[in-house]
Amino acid sequence: MGYLFTSESVSEGHPDKVADQISDALIDNFLAFDAESKVACETLVTTGQVILAGEVKSNTYLDVQSIAREVIRKIGYTKSEYMFEANSCGVLSAIHEQSADINQGVDRASKEEQGAGDQGMMFGYATNETENYMPLALDLSHALLIELAAIRRENNEITYLRPDAKSQVTLEYSDDNKPVRIDAIVISTQHDDFADEATMLTKIKSDLISILIPRVKAKYPQYAHLFNDDITYHINPTGKFVIGGPHGDTGLTGRKIIVDTYGGKGAHGGGAFSGKDPSKVDRSAAYATRHIAKNLVAAGLCDEILVQVSYAIGVAKPTSINVNTYGTAKVNMTDGEISKVVETIFDMRPYFIEQRLKLRNPIYSETAAYGHMGRTPETVTKTFKSPNGEDKTVTVELFTWEKLDFVDKVKAAFGI
């Protein structure tokens, strides 16, 4: 008998994601002007207020208020009726200098021996059920909200949308673990107030099913066959959703780590990503294990894999590297034997992760909504402005951990 599996996503206007995006914008600005910056920045957003807190070691100074307001403006919180608006919200900064006790464990005379910024375990996952080697339910959940945000910004086909939204997709799988159909879709979207509340829910449900769903099917034709006439739709199931965003629910950095990663597939070590520079292995090693997992599956080593790595704070060499192929390995090796070969291909010391994936660049704002994994690598040019009016223009590679640049090395190492 088949089974059901569900993943969710949240929009860029969800309060927790507003916080993530502000934290990562600060990271990018610090790294743009001082690539060696050490930053751990948390953000809290609530009605009319942004609070920044954290630790920084950097040679640059930022106008954190302007950076936060620009992020909020870009997301779409630009009207006073939202009770959280870019120009009028308060921004309080409680950022202070990084602990010297922590820094002494990270910085070394030899950069190659740079210690891990914290202890902990990180996971990377990949599956061949989608073209980008991501779990399908999460990929679809992201796709629904990416397209909903596009419709909101166009302000043409649907004109009442506000920034806050959530989605959830339930898939039916066959006995051999293949996705067969979409069983249920949940979408809750913030909206303008309606004069006639009796017709409000009917219109929103009709618009999303007749406008949003066809656009998603057209944009992602590889998933069109999964849509069917028997899908159960829950559109704004509580009814009215006018009060939303940071006014409706306090947002905090790092509260959507499952949305950021694999939607409940595989595993998660527990550490958040946003607001952390790459010396924090919570972030860099999670990207590195995704890079490993994706290249192993793309090389044909297995259909699905979970890669775990762990660290001790201040120590460069991982305390463990482990893989689980869920019995899908195509080579005559145990998972333990595969792990030993993986160690010879990928150097998982923090400095080498930073160098391999080019993580000391301002590349993090783009990660802070719609998932850190499964995205498309691309090269972009970005411009940053310092408080003294200095412009810094840099060309950077985004989502380097999604590149399939180790496939040939994997094939050679495993004789595939």
Q: Is 217 annotated as a binding residue?
A: no
Residue closest to 15 by CA, chosen among 192, 255, 335, 329 = 255
Q: Is 98 annotated as a binding residue?
A: yes
Q: Is 165 annotated as a binding residue?
A: yes
Q: Is 219 annotated as a binding residue?
A: no
120-128+256-414: CATH architecture: 2-Layer Sandwich (3.30)
Place of tokens 């958040």: 272
pLDDT digits (tens, 9 = 90+) for 97-134: 876 655 555 665 567 678 787 899 999 999 999 999 99
Domain positions in the chain are: 3-11+135-252, 15-100, 120-128+256-414
Contacts of 327 by beta carbon, 8 Å cutoff, 6+ apart? none
Q: Is 247 annotated as a binding residue?
A: no
Q: What is the DSSP letter of 85?
A: -
Same fold, 3-11+135-252 and 120-128+256-414: yes
Q: How far apart are CA 72 and CA 244, in angstroms?
A: 14
Q: Is 366 annotated as a binding residue?
A: no
Q: How far apart are CA 323 and CA 289, in angstroms?
A: 10
Pick the CATH number of 15-100 from 3.90.120.10, 2.30.30.40, 3.30.300.10, 3.90.1150.220: 3.30.300.10
Q: Is 249 annotated as a binding residue?
A: yes
Q: Is 291 annotated as a binding residue?
A: no
Place of tokens 């979970």: 306
Q: Is 392 annotated as a binding residue?
A: no
The amino acid at 191:
H
pLDDT digits (tens, 9 = 90+) for 30-56: 999 999 999 999 999 999 999 999 999
Q: How far apart are CA 339 and CA 117, in angstroms?
A: 24
pLDDT tens over the chain, length 416 residues = 789 999 999 999 999 999 999 999 999 999 999 999 999 999 999 999 999 999 999 999 999 999 999 999 999 999 999 999 999 999 999 999 876 655 555 665 567 678 787 899 999 999 999 999 999 999 999 999 999 999 999 999 999 999 999 999 999 999 999 999 999 999 999 999 998 887 999 999 999 999 999 999 999 999 999 999 999 999 999 999 999 999 999 999 999 999 999 999 999 998 999 999 999 999 999 999 999 999 999 999 999 999 999 999 989 999 999 999 999 999 999 999 999 999 999 999 999 999 999 999 999 999 999 999 999 999 999 999 988 888 999 999 999 999 999 999 999 999 99
Q: Is 101 annotated as a binding residue?
A: no
pLDDT digits (tens, 9 = 90+) for 245-254: 999 999 999 9
Q: Is 14 annotated as a binding residue?
A: yes
State how far the alpha carbon of 249 is from the alpha carbons of 10, 14, 86, 228, in Å. 13, 9, 17, 34
Does the domain at 3-11+135-252 match CATH 3.30.300.10? Answer given as yes
pLDDT digits (tens, 9 = 90+) for 198-224: 799 999 999 999 999 999 999 999 999
Tokens coding 184 = 């249920």
Q: How far apart are CA 338 and CA 331, in angstroms?
A: 9
